[in-house]
Amino acid sequence: MNLVILGLPGAGKGTHAQRLKEELQMCHLSSGEVLKRAIQQETEAGNKARTYVTSGDLVPDRIVINLMADEISKYNEPPLLFDGFPRTLRQAHRLDEIMKKHDKFIDLSIYLEVKKDNLLKRISGRRICSREGTVYHIDFNPPQEDGICDRCGAPLLQREDDKQEIVKKRIEESEKRISKIVKYYQEKNILKKINGTDRSPDQVHGDVQKAVHSYLEQLKH
């Protein structure tokens, strides 16, 4: 089973993708991590993407699609779990084409629905350890000492694209695009919507698990 997790920035895609990866032994392909790695390695694609990421703009389709196509080609056996990709309707179409080349297809798409006010608070409150990358939140998971990592004592930083003005822009632009992708997967009859507003991660993940296991049960009949 190959799965896509959709949601606006801060909806919890990465959190639930990581849990599903461990529960179902899936290969987790995060477009954010793929882009981050390309930027850190200063590849040609990474250098092109850097300007867009730091300004909060969407990285052009051609860069993201080529990077993700390279990642998909590395895996033959494990089921694939896409997080943060596709982010545009064109990416959704291209993903289907890329998967078809590898005799695969997307079986299920899960859309995490969260109100925009909640998303803004979630993202702008994130702080990340400058040394180890441990994630904190000033409201939901604060460090013991303000601005300092509990684990190693390094300073906590706010990512440039987590700043409030950039987050607002990201959410507004994402909302316009994601509605088209949701419709695309609805028309293919493979979309499941999950309410992620004002609910604990465990509650949301319980619904995510139900959606996945419901699909797996259908395959048995």
C-alpha 155/C-alpha 130 separation (Å) is: 6
Nearest partner of 59 among 71, 46, 42, 70, judged by Cα: 46
Q: Which of 87, 94, 127, 177 does the annotation list as catalytic?
A: 87
Q: Which of 13, 21, 94, 177 does the annotation list as catalytic?
A: 13
Classify each residue of 157-188 as buried b or exposed e, where b means 16 or more C-beta atoms within 10 Å of its C-beta.
Answer: eeeebbeeebbbebbebbeebbeebbebbeee
Q: Tokens 């860069």 appear where?
A: 63
Residue 13 is among the residues annotated as catalytic for this protein:
yes
- With a CB cutoff of 8 Å and minimum separation 6, the contacts of 130 are 149, 154, 155, 156, 157
As beta bridge partners, residue 30 has 83
Q: Which of 21, 122, 127, 170 does the annotation list as catalytic?
A: 170
Residue 199 is among the residues annotated as catalytic for this protein:
no
Q: Which of 21, 122, 126, 127 does the annotation list as catalytic?
A: 126
Residue 170 is among the residues annotated as catalytic for this protein:
yes
Q: List the end-to-end C-alpha distance of the chain, in Å, as a whole number.
A: 15
Q: Which of 159, 168, 169, 192 does the annotation list as catalytic?
A: 159
Q: Tokens 């990416």 appear where?
A: 91
Residue numbers annotated as active site = 13, 87, 126, 159, 170
